[in-house]
Structure 1
């Protein structure tokens, strides 16, 4: 029995059945690795604290920092970023699967962290995992655009939820202009949809000028108004 060949790689041809099997296994593995709440475990084992009682209650790495341990915070951040790397990298660099499959594996990792069954589907906001997935993807232009626009958002905008949304939305607009209808913008749309759900309550706050440059512009405007 012969299967229709759907993809070729450096190791030969891969049949449709093999693509389906590899894709399913990698997607499931990515989800369950990311579902492991490393930050919660690090906080419990190294600090003896429940990090969900700190900050915004998010079971993510930044609340490990808030719980009082920078060393534990760095470890948790590295582990959370690392969740998004291995199976995305395997899908692309080892199995050389179609890019749409690679991106689906990445989205499964993000969803695993955001909706982990191990915390009754109350996972983190997935920023660190998204960073790991972006690092593992070969679309370097997409990674650079997210980093650049995210840094700009932290200079000009408050609060944090709007900083994140500005960064990823600006990256989406840039990719849509430069890439047109392609996988990169579609991937970013999926990421934005997940972030909107995770940040929904915080996005009810009106965005405002903030950060270092935003605060400077705001103070200059106040000073100018005071002269008139």
Structure 2
């Protein structure tokens, strides 16, 4: 097997890992409704929480983050790639695209917040913690989960450049941030209209 073929298989495997939708897996295991069939229709932790099952939402969140982390971890373990390699950025984007467009779930994926966090933690613990801290601060003061995700997406590439300089991974993170913002179009419109639900607000 040539090196190029091995890299291709690694990238493809990363996409398949990202394609595992834990919202769907956890819901089936816990006999909950398909997350595509209620609420926002988004297969993510926030929508799963609408069932009232907090454990299912936590498991979804952790699972989606872990798969992003796993894709980066496996790439580094198998070929020792670092942040300045073109392989690792491609692996990161492949895993993220897997979550957004999962082949196992008719390409109906989530918005990518938890998976993006897992990827960032896999790249660097400091990078992941910076992104998580940004989300927590914005969510705490503004009480909007979507706004926290959007602001974190904007800052994530900046954090990477600050920590590591301008490298191929910075472009990959910027691409993931752009995709995440694109997936939040509906939330952006609700924020502008003043109809977006706040964290902890009673329905």
Q: TM-score, normalised by structure 2?
A: 0.81
The answer to whether the 8 A contact 1:151-1:167 is kept is no
Give 1:5's aligned residue. none
Q: Unaligned regions of 5+ residues in structure 2, if any? A: none
In 1, the alpha carbon distance for the partners of 2:129 and 2:193 equals 24
Q: Answer yes or no: is 1:103 the counterpart of 2:103.
A: no
Q: TM-score, normalised by structure 1?
A: 0.73
Aligned with 1:201: secondary structure? helix
How many matched pairs? 194
Residues 62 and 211 of structure 1, relative CA distance in 2, 3 Å threshold: closer
Give 2:74's aligned residue. 90
Q: Displacement of 1:107 after TM fit?
A: 1.2
The answer to whether the 8 A contact 2:134-2:148 is kept is no
Residues 211 and 93 of structure 1, relative CA distance in 2, 3 Å threshold: same
Q: Displacement of 1:34 after TM fit?
A: 1.6
Give 1:10's aligned residue. none
Q: Answer yes or no: is 1:49 the counterpart of 2:33.
A: yes
* 1:70-149 equivalences in 2 (<5 Å): 70-98=54-82, 99-137=85-123, 139-149=124-134
Q: Displacement of 1:57 after TM fit?
A: 1.6
154-163 or 54-63, which deviates more: 154-163
Q: Unaligned regions of 5+ residues in structure 1, if any? A: 1-14, 213-228
Bigger radius of gyration, 1 or 2?
A: 1
- How well do the aligned residues superpose, as a CA RMSD in angstroms? 2.7
In 2, the alpha carbon distance for the partners of 1:69 and 1:75 equals 10
Residues 194 and 76 of structure 1, relative CA distance in 2, 3 Å threshold: same
By percentage of residues, which structure has more strand? Answer: 1
Highest RCO, 1 vs 2 (Cα 8 Å, sep ≥ 6) = 2
Aligned with 2:192: secondary structure? coil
Give 1:182's aligned residue. 167
